[in-house]
Amino acid sequence: MYRQLANSGYRNHVAAMAPRVASLAESGQLDALVALERIGTQLSFSRNEEIYTEGDSTECWYKIISGTVRICKLLADGRRHITEFCFSGDGFGFDGARERVFSAEAVGDVIVMRFSRKATEQMIDQNPALARMLRETMLHDLTNVYNRLLLLGRMTATERVATFLIELFERCDRKKTIVVPMSRNDIADYVCLTIETVCRVLSTFKRDGIIAIPNAHSVELRDSEALEELAEA
Amino acid sequence: MYRQLANSGYRNHVAAMAPRVASLAESGQLDALVALERIGTQLSFSRNEEIYTEGDSTECWYKIISGTVRICKLLADGRRHITEFCFSGDGFGFDGARERVFSAEAVGDVIVMRFSRKATEQMIDQNPALARMLRETMLHDLTNVYNRLLLLGRMTATERVATFLIELFERCDRKKTIVVPMSRNDIADYVCLTIETVCRVLSTFKRDGIIAIPNAHSVELRDSEALEELAEA
DNA sequence: CGCCAGTTTGACCAAGATCAACGCAAGTGG
DNA sequence: CCACTTGCGTTGATCTTGGTCAAACTGGCG
């Protein structure tokens, strides 16, 4: 049984849940909806602040204006798991259960819009096209999670980190140099490795000239072919 | 990189996709829908037969009348992953994309009802309550997958197999002795371990008096407390 | 300047994969 | 009815990956 403790900085809050409706918002289609219901409230959170925790009611959902949010769960023995990172433009917190099963925390400083779930639901009820769109988005997200299952179940440390980097680069329109907003610990808890292993793999990539690491929070892609090769699957 | 090949018996079909809408059908609520649209076709498949493969169109979805179905994905290097098992009463194949990303195969002999996706969609469009129900079911399933992420990312071999057994027992109304329809290989590909490790863990459970294994395809629960203990999380 | 949080690197260890052999029951064909 | 095959399942010996423990490094910041 592994002992990896959730990293020191975090409060001992328990878990809370938030399946992702990211691509929904990403697609820009939801913006129509958002425009319709003018009931959003803007909120800001600072680094490591909790947006919600397990047990909180699920009566609202959020859309990120700027910053990065991590959706995570703390296990009884202190192990932490990050189910996903949400970036600017993503939506999150559109949950199934009545209570949060995961928690949402600000990775750095974050600004979000908060919307009433009930109002949104009513709006969707009155608009079958919107409902269908939402359904498709959710199915799409479901497929993504199934791919993550594959990642966690079958992939080696190298493949996991390579895949993670590629995800990041794709999010940033394949820019050569990107800012990595989250800590090594966050990355580790996301791909289910220890922080040491993440570091070692990154160092290997650097040594092999696949990436450069100007500073701990930015990565420059040097050889994308090699990286894709390593991520394979 | 692991070498575990998908077990010999299976054709070299590629992957195809099917997020699960299991609880939807489970709940019995969908039966209303099914009753409404009398357009289902009954089909049977024999052991290891393919119901659909990657690339097939997603114009229908299925509900299991009897038997067990595995939804799986084959990686390029031969590694196989089973995303889920669907049992009698479950629905599957209600997919997001246009083409299947996973494949569905009969574990043993299976009888299913096949429904038109388009007709179902139209019906849902005309019934907001149904749409909302479906949405909730999907969110619920999403939560389940997130829990599986945790299983694959963070749990030891013992915890995985224990959890798998508990799942099985719960599906069977906690009967003392259950039939395990799938092969050891299927179990291994579901919990992402090798077949050898699955065997060893089962043997340990047997040795410790937690379960009895009258024959390879049935398991008797002897000490449910101990089993739950081992699954923890 | 020294502290502190986060990162990196190294030495060692254990869980589980790999390789290999054997067991066992269900066909199959003579 | 009995060899022979075939497909799983089980068990053992060994090796690899990645976890654990520990120590050093780095870049802010009071």
Residues paired with A44 in a beta bridge: A111
Residues paired with A20 in a beta bridge: A92
Token pair, residue A177, equals 């140099």
Judged by CB atoms closer than 8 Å, whether chains meet at A138 and B135 is answered as yes
Cα–Cα dist B135/B118, whole Å: 17
The reply to whether A101 touches chain B by the CB within 8 Å rule is: yes
Those residues of chain B that have pLDDT short of 70 are 1-38, 233
Closest chain B residue to A194, measured at CA: B154
Query: Does the pLDDT at position A96 exceed 80?
Result: yes
Token pair, residue B16, equals 């195809």
The reply to whether A118 touches chain B by the CB within 8 Å rule is: no
Cα–Cα dist B38/B163, whole Å: 38
The reply to whether A177 touches chain B by the CB within 8 Å rule is: no
Residues of A whose CB is below 8 A from B159: 1
In the predicted model, what is the mean pLDDT of residues A45-73?
A: 96
Which of A81, A57, A59 is CA-nearest to residue A71?
A81
Query: Does the pLDDT at position A21 exceed 70?
Result: no
CB-nearest to A152 from B1, B140, B152 is B152
Residues of A whose CB is below 8 A from B148: 149
Contact between residue B91 and residue B22 where contact means Cβ atoms under 8 Å apart: yes
CA–C1' gap, B111 and C21, in angstroms: 39
Q: Is the CB of A202 under 7 A from strand D?
A: no
Tell me the three-class secondary structure of chain B, residue by residue.
Answer: CCCCCCCCCCCCCCCCCCCECHHHHHCCCHHHHHHHCCCCEEEEECCCCEEECCCCECCEEEEEEECCEEEEEECCCCCEEEEEEECCCCEECCCCCCECCCEEEECCCEEEEEEEHHHHHHHHHCCHHHHHHHHHHHHHHHHHHHHHHHHHHHCCHHHHHHHHHHHHHHHCCCCCEEECCCCHHHHHHHHCCCHHHHHHHHHHHHHCCCEEEEECCEEEECCHHHHHHHHCC
pLDDT at A174: 80
Query: Does the pLDDT at position A9 exceed 80?
Result: no
pLDDT at A79: 86
Closest chain A residue to B93, measured at CA: A139
- Interface with B, mutate which of A139, A161, A193 (most B CBs under 10 A): A139
What percentage of chain A exceeds 90 in pLDDT?
Answer: 70
Judged by CB atoms closer than 8 Å, whether chains meet at B76 and A233 is answered as yes
Least-confidence region, from A203-207, A211-215, B38-42, B144-148: B38-42
The reply to whether A125 touches chain B by the CB within 8 Å rule is: yes
Judged by CB atoms closer than 8 Å, whether chains meet at B143 and A94 is answered as no
Judged by CB atoms closer than 8 Å, whether chains meet at B131 and A135 is answered as yes
Contact between residue A47 and residue A107 where contact means Cβ atoms under 8 Å apart: yes
In the predicted model, what is the mean pLDDT of residues A15-21?
A: 39
pLDDT at B28: 53
Cα–Cα dist A132/B173, whole Å: 35
Cα–Cα dist B233/B102, whole Å: 29
CA–C1' gap, B6 and C18, in angstroms: 15
Contact between residue A20 and residue A84 where contact means Cβ atoms under 8 Å apart: yes
Contact between residue B15 and residue B101 where contact means Cβ atoms under 8 Å apart: yes
Res. A10 pLDDT band, cuts 50 70 90: very low
pTM of the model: 0.87
Res. A55 pLDDT band, cuts 50 70 90: very high
Cα–Cα dist B55/B188, whole Å: 25
pLDDT at A33: 59
Write down the residue that tokens 């179990």 correspond to. Answer: B187
- B63-B69-B71-B73 Cα dihedral, nearest 10 degrees: -150
**How distant is the Cα of A188 from the closest Cα of chain B, in angstroms?**
11
- A129-171 pLDDT per residue, tens: 889 989 999 999 999 999 999 999 999 999 999 999 999 999 9
Residue A28: Cβ within 10 Å count = 9
In the predicted model, what is the mean pLDDT of residues A211-223?
A: 96
H helix runs in B42-171, sequence order:
117-125, 128-154, 157-171
Contact between residue A55 and residue A16 where contact means Cβ atoms under 8 Å apart: yes
- Interface with A, mutate which of B139, B189, B197 (most A CBs under 10 A): B139
Q: Which nucleotide is nearest to A195 (CA to C1')?
A: C7
Kindly give, in sequence order, each residue whose CB lies less than 8 Å from that of residue A55, ignoring residues fewer than 6 positions away: A14, A16, A99, A100
Token pair, residue B196, equals 């050898």
Judged by CB atoms closer than 8 Å, whether chains meet at A154 and B126 is answered as no
Token pair, residue A89, equals 């433009």
Kindly give, in sequence order, each residue whose CB lies less than 8 Å from that of residue B92, ignoring residues fewer than 6 positions away: B18, B20, B21, B22, B61, B62, B63, B64, B69, B71, B86, B104
Closest chain A residue to B137, measured at CA: A96
The protein footprint on chain D, as nucleotides within 7 A of a CB, is 7-13, 17-22, 27
Contact between residue A107 and residue A186 where contact means Cβ atoms under 8 Å apart: yes
Residues of A whose CB is below 8 A from B141: 142
Query: Does the pLDDT at position A8 exceed 50?
Result: no
The reply to whether A196 touches chain B by the CB within 8 Å rule is: no
H helix runs in chain A, sequence order:
22-26, 30-36, 117-125, 128-154, 157-171, 184-191, 195-207, 224-231
Cα–Cα dist B153/B164, whole Å: 15
Judged by CB atoms closer than 8 Å, whether chains meet at B142 and A143 is answered as no
Judged by CB atoms closer than 8 Å, whether chains meet at B128 and A125 is answered as yes
Closest residue by Cα to the C1' atom of nucleotide D18? Answer: A197
